[in-house]
Structure 1
Amino acid sequence: MVKSSFRLKDGEIPSIGLGTWQLEGKKGLDAIVHAIRGGYKMIDCAFSYWNQELVGRAIKESGVPRSELFIVDKLANTWHTAAEDCLDETLKNLDVDSLDLWLMHWPSSLNHNGNDRKCPRLADDSVDYEKDWDYLKTWETMVEIQRRRPHEVKRIGVANFGIKELERIIQTGVVPEVNQVELHPECNQKLLNEYCDKKGILLVGYSPLGSIGSPLLKNSKLEAIAAKNNASVAQCLLSWGIQSGWPVIPRSSSPERIDQNITLIQLSEDDFRRITEIGAESPKRYINAPWYTFDDH
């Protein structure tokens, strides 16, 4: 039986959620409504996806009570120096009174008043970082906000953090509950997973299928494992993630794939090992950003 949730310090987080990146227009709205009505409890959002109002509308149209959902959102890179304003805008846009989990999207503070809302640039085309600011200040601000507004921000965490960044913020005395990072067989983050496990930080896997155009989905060895289990390759990859010890947040706008992705299987020890080995044959990170360089291990 595939586990349905993972323990947090004061509750649980669902094992599978719906990623909302690039879900737009009627197709995106319908996809989110379909997912919530079909049993998805975790909805993974971000200020910088620029679709919070659409997500909020979908939550309302689904008819599922807010109390039954686990809503995640993320502080945008260009709002590190205005974190509380970002939170207020997020709650307003989503039309909800609380977030179950609020993450720092990246350990990268970009100019809040720059020339682009996502990645402002200087005249020489280099990334325009916020001067005299540090993500450590951002974390301290998030901690302070959560302490003042615990009913609106139930938990805080981070995303795209490596060990060196986690070491710094842990020294503040407040350990993030979650670190959301790219996780799939080709990017299994072994050392980061071991570190987070020791520190009591739960990894959550985004791009659990290897992102758009992933060759994993057409890997002949994985196709054989999927056929043996009467499942799709995607179902096997998502099941692998959960059995590895973390929640997964696939994204799709297809009702058929949305339904398929939440119907997972229990992999045998042998199939689990083989999927791990297949991923190790071609290690690859799909998600990179101009404002951050990953320190891969």
Structure 2
Amino acid sequence: MLPDYFTLVNGQKVPSVGLGTWQLEGGKGYSAIKHALQNGYKMLDCAFAYYNQEVVGRAIKDSGIAREEIFLVDKLANTWHSAAEKNLELTLKSLGVEYLDLWLMHWPSPLNHHGNDPKTPKLADGSVDFEKDWDYVKTWKSMVELHRNYPEKLKSIGVANFGVKELEAIIEATGVVPVVNQVELHPSCNQQQLFKFCGDHGIQLVAYSPLGSIGSPLLQNEDLAGIAAKNGVTIPQCLISWGVANGWPVIPRSTSFERIDQNLQLVELSKDDLFEITRIGSQNKHRFVTAPWHSFAEI
């Protein structure tokens, strides 16, 4: 039986499937989020850098679902690392909520808070404009302090897009272990070394892009199509269920009501099917999410 939720080291329960809100903007995004909440979703994955927090907040309010029934995740933006407290205040105000269940450092990449772009500031030569005299360890220290000072506003803190090297650095510097590390995670980016490290340190991996991102070859894979047909489900349902079966929550994104509903319906895959999905991914290794401000370790 696949779990409905995963329990973090601090006792918080994270739903096994949430709705990613990247690019869920305007009326279509509002409708998708509201529909998801009214049809069983208990987790929303948001970020300041998505620039849609007002839409998310309005959908939460209009859904009729009580705030305490929603596991709400948001992320500290790259250009706000040196002004974390203000970013938190703006986030809560924009969402129209009093607290976050989980606040993540979106990337281990502090960018110039006073640069020429709110998302990706650039220098005159076109290179990324990083914050001077600042690093992600300082950012983590700020988040730890905010968590200690405002437990009523932050239930938990964690990170995203961190590799083993970055995790070791913040743990060594502070002694505080993030409860979650949200990363790209699917059969073609099956980060077993990172998964083992996180498991050994009580860090829950959470999978974004669990289908392999928009236009993923996995969605057209004939072998995966065969597994899906045999189980009477879709390829996305197989990929989402594969992730949950392997030990992590997943946060697929869609604006289609039909796909939103399908993504919440997990399927019990056989051991052979799970092994085959892993094998298919291992033969087609690929990381879909890249960023000019961060270099990933090899998968």
TM-score of the pair, normalised by structure 1: 0.99
Per the alignment, in what secondary structure is the counterpart of residue 137 of structure 1? helix
Deviation at 1:106, TM superposition (A): 0.2
> Which residue, out of 278, 281, 295, partners 2:280?
278
CA distance in 1, matches of 2:45, 2:81: 20
> Offset at 1:295?
1.0
Counterparts of 1:24-173 in structure 2, within 5 Å, are: 24-171=25-172, 172-173=174-175
> Mapping of 1:9-24 within 5 angstroms?
9-24=10-25
Which position in structure 1 is the counterpart of 2:231? 229
Q: Does 1:216 align with 2:218?
A: yes
Q: Distance in 1 between matches of 2:25 and 2:201?
A: 37
Distance 1:92 1:225 in 2: 45
- Match of 1:98, SS state, is coil
Between the aligned partners of 1:158 and 1:124, the Cα distance in structure 2 is: 30
2:207 to 205, 208, 225: 205
- Code of the residue aligned with 2:82 in structure 1: it is T
The runs of 5 or more residues in structure 2 that have no matched partner are: none
Which runs of structure 2 are paired with 1:236-275 in the superposition (5 Å)? 236-275=238-277
What SS does the aligned partner of 2:19 have?
A: strand
1:288 aligns with 2:267: no
The whole-number CA distance in structure 1 between the counterparts of 2:135 and 2:227 is 46
Aligned: 1:2 with 2:15? no
User: What percent identity do the matched residue pairs reach?
Assistant: 64
| Counterpart for residue 189 of structure 1 | 191
Separation in structure 1 between the aligned mates of residue 79 and residue 159 of structure 2, nearest angstrom: 15
Report the residue type matching 1:217 in the other structure: L
SS at match of 1:6: strand
How far, CA to CA, are the matches of 1:203 and 1:267 in structure 2? Answer: 21
**Whole-Å separation in 2 of the counterparts to 1:68 and 1:276:** 33
- The one-character-per-residue Cα deviations of 1:158-213 (angstroms, maximum 9, x if unpaired) are 00000000000111110000000000000001100011100110000000000000
CA drift at 1:296: 1.5
Alpha-carbon distance in 2 for matches of 1:61, 1:256? 20
Instruction: Give the C-alpha shift of residue 122 in structure 1.
Output: 0.2
> Partners in 2 of 1:145 and 1:24 — Cα distance?
29
SS state at 1:145 partner: helix
2:253 partner letter = R
For residues 23 and 13 of structure 1, what CA distance do their matches in structure 2 show?
22
What secondary structure sits across from 2:254 in the alignment?
Answer: coil
Q: Deviations over 1:13-66 (max 9, x none)?
A: 110100000011111100000000011000000000000000000000100000
1:260-292 Cα distance to aligned partner (Å, 9 max, x none): 000110111000000000001110000000000
Task: Tell me the secondary structure at the aligned position of residue 88 of structure 1.
Answer: helix
1:10: how far off? 2.2
Cα deviations by residue, 1:227-279 (Å, 9 ceiling, x for unpaired): 00000000000000000100000000000000000011011100000000000
Measure the CA separation in 1 of the matches of 2:61 and 2:2. 29
SS across alignment from 2:116: coil
TM-score by length of 2: 0.99
Distance 2:95 2:139 in 1: 22
Write the distance in 2 (CA, Å) between the matches of 1:194 and 1:89: 35
- Runs of 5+ unmatched residues, structure 1: none
What amino acid does structure 2 have at the position aligned with 1:164? K
Q: Give the whole-Å Cα distance in 2 for the aligned partners of 1:295 and 1:108.
A: 15
